[in-house]
Homo-oligomer: A and B are copies of this chain.
Amino acid sequence: MRRILITGAAGGLGRVLRTRLRAEGLLLRLSDVAEIGEPVPGEEIVRCDLADAKAVDRLVDGCDAIIHLGGISLEDRFSRILDANILGLFNLYEAARAHGHPRIFFASSNHTIGFYRQDERLDAGMPMRPDGLYGVSKCFGEALARMYFDKFGQETAIVRIGSCFERPRNHRMLSSWLSYDDLTSLVTCVLRAPLLGCPVIWGVSDNDRSWWDNSAIAYLGWRPKDNAEAFRDEIERMEERPAPDTPLAIWQGGPFTQDPIVPEA
């Protein structure tokens, strides 16, 4: 039986994958800095602060793969992003290097490219345009992952998660939504691929209005099944379409592009 580490297991995506991967018979090591709850059979629970290098080293030891969802996922004080997303990621890759290079699924973000317009089509090789400090920290992460691949052969799936929720919640998510089923199939696909390499993957469902072109990773055989368009009527009832000259309609990063720098306390 293979042991899979999930960091950020107490967060939204972590809770989704906890249930679904266990159902596939995988042994899960669940970790978070926050409270996760009690383990059920097939689970191990490890409380861990990613900024603590030694703790991260113990956390990774014995794992066959890592699904790294941990860290800050919104604009925040830079000191907090620095600890969790920058130092924390470095600690994780060092631990992986020390323990046989388990394959890593790294939850990067569409906020690495949030300052492209919504009428642009992106492939994964275009220059990054982060929309805030959070996005910048994910650019750091993508660069770190690539370096560990080129230098040490560490395989990583760099997954630029769109908007992963049970259903799309607003007009922007008609383009950016990633369904839970498609997230799960992507994780499975990454874990099973004979050759992973270090690709950048758009974590997005098969939405009619997607901005992102995944054809470069066809070799992985991931074919998302869901389509946010099924929720369009629901969303049009919920909120007004944003006007074409407003940031919500213009930028792929949506509201993040308007977030200020968060001052240190």
A residues at B contact (CB < 8 Å): 53, 78, 82, 86-87, 90, 94, 97, 112, 115, 117-121, 125-133, 135-136, 139-140, 143-144, 146-147, 150-151, 153, 155, 171, 174-175, 192, 194-197, 199-200, 207-211, 213, 215-223, 229, 241-245, 248-250, 257, 261, 264
Contacts and interface: CB of A to CB of B under 8 A. Distances in A.
Contact of A194 (B112, B132, B135, B242): B242
A127 B140 CA distance: 13
Contact of A209 (B97, B139, B219): B219
B132 A249 contact: no
A119 B209 contact: no
Copies of this chain present in the complex amount to 6
Which of A119, A127, A196, A216 has the most C-beta atoms of chain B within 10 angstroms of its own C-beta?
A119
Given A82-B86, A115-B150, A146-B129, A121 B218 contact: yes
A151 B209 contact: no
Contacts of A196: 119, 244
A135 to B, nearest CB: 7
A147 B130 CA distance: 5
Given A115-B146, A127-B200, 16 more contacts: A78-B87, A78-B90, A86-B86, A112-B143, A115-B150, A117-B195, A117-B197, A135-B143, A140-B140, A194-B242, A196-B244, A197-B244, A209-B220, A209-B221, A210-B219, A221-B229
B221 A174 contact: yes
Contacts of A97: 261
A128 B143 contact: yes
A254 to B, nearest CB: 11
B213 A209 contact: no
Contacts of A131: 147, 150-151
Contacts of A133: 90, 147
A139 B130 CA distance: 12
- Give the one of A78, A129, A143 with max B CB within 10 A: A143
The 7 closest A-B CB pairs, nearest first, are A139-B143, A209-B221, A208-B221, A115-B150, A119-B197, A195-B249, A140-B140
Contacts of A199: 119
A151 B256 CA distance: 10
